[in-house]
Amino acid sequence: MAIVEVGGVKVRFISWAEGIALSEALARRIEGDGYKPEIIVAISRGGLVPARIISDILGVDDVISMGVKYWGLAQRRAERPLLYHSIEPGVIRDRKVLVVDEVADTGHTLMLAKNLLDLIGAAQVKTAVLHLKTTSQLTPDYYAERIEEWVWISYPWSRYEDLREFKKRGHDISKYIEKIC
């Protein structure tokens, strides 16, 4: 677990191998629990890669996305999550759903997704994330790892976004990425 401090923000860099392993472990937990979703909803953009891996392991070919944006710069977020593209109710109605995101930081994104899917008639909605932070107001049904001390998690699939956002704040994290990842 590589953690560095960048501009006063603790950052944990996740490698591709670790991201895949966490996704596989999460899928095995869901599988072990006996939950068999009919459709997987990936929270775009962070949940897209884990959702794809989980869908393959669980044998669920029906994967769609819901666009929700909450975090901008590391440690700075909007007042509330913003839904920027949603799902047609007919796709969800009366189906067992698994919502997948990469991290539950405040839990607000997962709450928004779950409430919306319940509202449009999902038969059952369960949530899953790679990382659960103790700052989350919602504990997902499934998670791969619990994070006790707050840290910004930089996933390989969001690396360029992180590079861009840290650069806007005057910090270059490319040296860490090259060394760690």
Q: Is the entire prediction scored with pTM above 0.85? A: yes
- The CATH number corresponding to 20-150 among 3.80.10.10, 3.30.70.270, 3.40.50.2020, 3.40.50.10780 equals 3.40.50.2020
Could you give the CA distance from residue 42 to residue 64 in angstroms, rounded to a whole number? 6
CA distance 12 to 162: 12
Q: Which two tokens stand for residue 126?
A: 């369960």
Confidence of residue 68 (pLDDT cuts 50, 70, 90): confident
* Cα distances (Å, whole numbers) of residue 111 to 11, 79, 130: 25, 14, 16
- Cβ-in-10-Å burial (0-12, 13-18, 19+) of 125 comes to buried
130-168: pLDDT as tens digits: 999 999 999 999 999 999 999 999 999 999 988 888 888
Enumerate residues 6+ apart whose C-beta is below 8 A from 21: none
Q: What is the pLDDT of residues 20-34, one digit of tens each?
A: 999 999 999 999 999
Please say if the pLDDT value at position 4 is more than 70: yes
The residue assigned the tokens 């806007």 is: 168
Q: Evaluate if residue 77 carries a pLDDT over 70.
A: no
Return the domain boundaries, the chain. 20-150
In whole numbers, what is the pLDDT of the chain averaged over residues?
A: 89
Rg value, the chain, Cα: 16
pLDDT at position 99 = 98
